[in-house]
Amino acid sequence: MVYHPQDRTGRPLTAAGPGDDGDTIAAQATPPGRGGVGIIRVSGPRAGAIARAVTGKELSPRQAEYLPFFDSGGEVLDQGIALFFAGPHSFTGEDVLELQGHGGPVIMDMLLRRVQELGARMARPGEFSLRAFLNDKLDLAQAEAIADLIDSSTEAAARSALKSLRGEFSRRIEALLEQLIELRVFVESAIDFPEEEIDFLADPQLRQRLDRLANSLQDVLAAAGQGCLLREGMNLVILGRPNAGKSSLLNRLAGRDSAIVTAVPGTTRDVLREQIQLDGMPVNVIDTAGLRDSGDEVEREGMRRAWEEVGRADRVLLVFDDSTGFGTQEKAILRRLPAGLEVTLVRNKIDLSGGDSRWRQTDHGPSIGISAREGLGLDVLKAHLKQVMGYQGSGDNVFMARRRHVEALERARAAVERGRRQLVEHGAGELLAEELRQAQQALNEITGEFDNEALLGRIFASFCIGK
């Protein structure tokens, strides 16, 4: 065992468990949407201070109070109920604050940003439950469930959060990352290899690159602030062989005729998208060309795009004709889907087959019967979608994941700005390097690991280094 010298000085160990990094975490505890009441939950050592700052008064533990929530300028954000639980007598065993406000996404967003500003960070999937468990607030029997929660929700959230962003947005983040890495390659090689004939810290290009990175971060954040990041919606892709009724389903969900619906297979040659609202939360429904082998070039192009959409999907609706049933072609489609992508089977045309609209669990996923033409079973389908897409229940979901992303981008921007000042005002290259490392850590939370080793690899690939 490694031990650390501080231990020998008898420094008291804190009561907090190992899963707790000392951070205060926050999340929306209610499903996102236009629902009546929304709850923001905060847990950790700063919960008390946050309560005081938001409500402007000292809350008595376990007593609900109806009062205004203030922003940093003292303006009222919302009126609602605040509840404070002092640890260990709380759900997580830590100090916990609950703010119950109006449930609309805008207010919830503002409240979350407010608690972030006061030092909370967005909770990771399952983190409240994890802390509760580690602080003996949940029993062993519940541990299995927590493991499931962490496991499935993380994967789903991470997958959808990045992929479901419109192509352009994720491309911009990739471009940001690349700009940052290039800068770090310059700065770190100047520090680690001073005997090479490169002194990038003195190069005016460095400052320009730094400015460009700062601007790009600013642009991406501005775009996110306008809501296209947080409120962009889930991507629901409708797949199926030609004439299975995909376009009719899209029109039903969208409530108007956006796709040309004919009885001729292959009518939809391109990708059609509609944004619909399920209880106030947006869903992008994407109807794709029918999937079949075709000699028609236009149709082939349509199918290529269909698969591209699948790559960004949060969920697939696989539509088939209930009277012919789930067959080999449907199985072939399923086999081509990326691993882990959730699928709902839609048995269409039950008006012709005489089938029912009941929800069933099958080997390939949940299955629901509808008639797109007659409008049968659509309420069952919508309820099902709300449930699976995280609009019900308080688990982690893509909206939480995206809020975490915005928070990470903000941290990256702040670090780049500090680094720029260190270089420009003080010529402190090693402090610029440190700030860029912080920015990298923040972006890593969105794009995945890029560590010291990978950076060294880039340095050695870029410059001939070493005596």
- Distance from C-alpha of 63 to C-alpha of 67, rounded to nearest angstrom: 12
Nearest residue to 25 (alpha-carbon basis) of 96, 77, 99, 102: 96
Instruction: Please identify which residue in 201, 249, 319, 406 interacts with another protein, judged by CB under 8 A.
Output: 201
Shortest distance (Å) from residue 6 CB to another protein: 8
Nearest residue to 91 (alpha-carbon basis) of 58, 43, 152: 43
Under the binding rule (CB under 8 A), the answer on residue 130 touching another protein is yes
Under the binding rule (CB under 8 A), the answer on residue 124 touching another protein is yes
Indicate the DSSP class of residue 22.
Answer: S
Give the 3-state secondary structure percentages of the chain, helix then strand then coil, rounded to 5.
Answer: 45, 20, 35
Instruction: Please identify which residue in 81, 110, 378, 455 interacts with another protein, judged by CB under 8 A.
Output: 455
6 near 371, Cβ under 8 Å?
Answer: no
Under the binding rule (CB under 8 A), the answer on residue 14 touching another protein is yes
The site for another protein, by CB under 8 A, has a size of 67
Peptide bond into 31 cis (omega under 30): no
Shortest distance (Å) from residue 196 CB to another protein: 8
Instruction: Please identify which residue in 74, 264, 293, 467 interacts with another protein, judged by CB under 8 A.
Output: 467
Question: Per DSSP, what are the bridge partners of residue 141?
Answer: none
Q: Give the sheet arrangement for strand 360-362, strand by strand.
A: 272-278, 281-287, 234-239, 315-321, 342-348, 365-369, 360-362
Residue with tokens 């062993």: 140
C-beta closer to another protein: residue 106 or 424: 424
Under the binding rule (CB under 8 A), the answer on residue 417 touching another protein is no
C-beta closer to another protein: residue 141 or 222: 141
Side-chain half-sphere of 117: how many Cα atoms within 13 Å? 12
* Tokens of residue 69, six digits: 């929530």
C-beta closer to another protein: residue 214 or 456: 456
C-beta closer to another protein: residue 277 or 462: 462
C-beta closer to another protein: residue 256 or 467: 467
- Distance from C-alpha of 356 to C-alpha of 338, rounded to nearest angstrom: 30
C-beta closer to another protein: residue 192 or 219: 192
- Secondary structure class of 113 (helix, strand, coil): helix
Under the binding rule (CB under 8 A), the answer on residue 10 touching another protein is no
209 near 422, Cβ under 8 Å?
Answer: no
- Distance from C-alpha of 96 to C-alpha of 104, rounded to nearest angstrom: 22
Instruction: Please identify which residue in 49, 107, 191, 334 interacts with another protein, judged by CB under 8 A.
Output: 191
Under the binding rule (CB under 8 A), the answer on residue 431 touching another protein is yes
Instruction: Please identify which residue in 221, 228, 414, 428 interacts with another protein, judged by CB under 8 A.
Output: 428
CA torsion sign, 13 to 19 to 21 to 25? negative
Under the binding rule (CB under 8 A), the answer on residue 256 touching another protein is no
- Distance from C-alpha of 382 to C-alpha of 384, rounded to nearest angstrom: 5
Shortest distance (Å) from residue 149 CB to another protein: 9
**Bridging pattern class, strands 120-122 and 360-362:** unpaired
Instruction: Please identify which residue in 71, 196, 270, 356 interacts with another protein, judged by CB under 8 A.
Output: 196
- Distance from C-alpha of 212 to C-alpha of 435, rounded to nearest angstrom: 16
77 near 114, Cβ under 8 Å?
Answer: yes
Shortest distance (Å) from residue 237 CB to another protein: 25
Under the binding rule (CB under 8 A), the answer on residue 325 touching another protein is no
Nearest residue to 231 (alpha-carbon basis) of 411, 106, 404, 391: 106
Shortest distance (Å) from residue 415 CB to another protein: 11
Instruction: Please identify which residue in 18, 74, 204, 354 interacts with another protein, judged by CB under 8 A.
Output: 18
- DSSP one-letter string for 268-279: --S-EEEEEEET
Shortest distance (Å) from residue 321 CB to another protein: 37
C-beta closer to another protein: residue 123 or 253: 123
Instruction: Please identify which residue in 37, 76, 117, 148 interacts with another protein, judged by CB under 8 A.
Output: 148
C-beta closer to another protein: residue 150 or 214: 150
Under the binding rule (CB under 8 A), the answer on residue 192 touching another protein is yes
C-beta closer to another protein: residue 81 or 146: 146
User: Which range in 65-73, 187-195, 203-211, 357-365 contacts another protein by CB under 8 A?
Assistant: 187-195
215 near 180, Cβ under 8 Å?
Answer: no
Residues numbered 155-174 forming contacts with another protein, rule: CB under 8 A? 155
Q: Binding residues for another protein, per CB under 8 A?
A: 1-5, 7-8, 13-14, 16-23, 124-127, 130, 133-134, 140, 143-144, 146-148, 150-151, 154-155, 188, 190-197, 201, 425-426, 428-431, 433-434, 437, 449, 451-453, 455-457, 459-461, 464-467
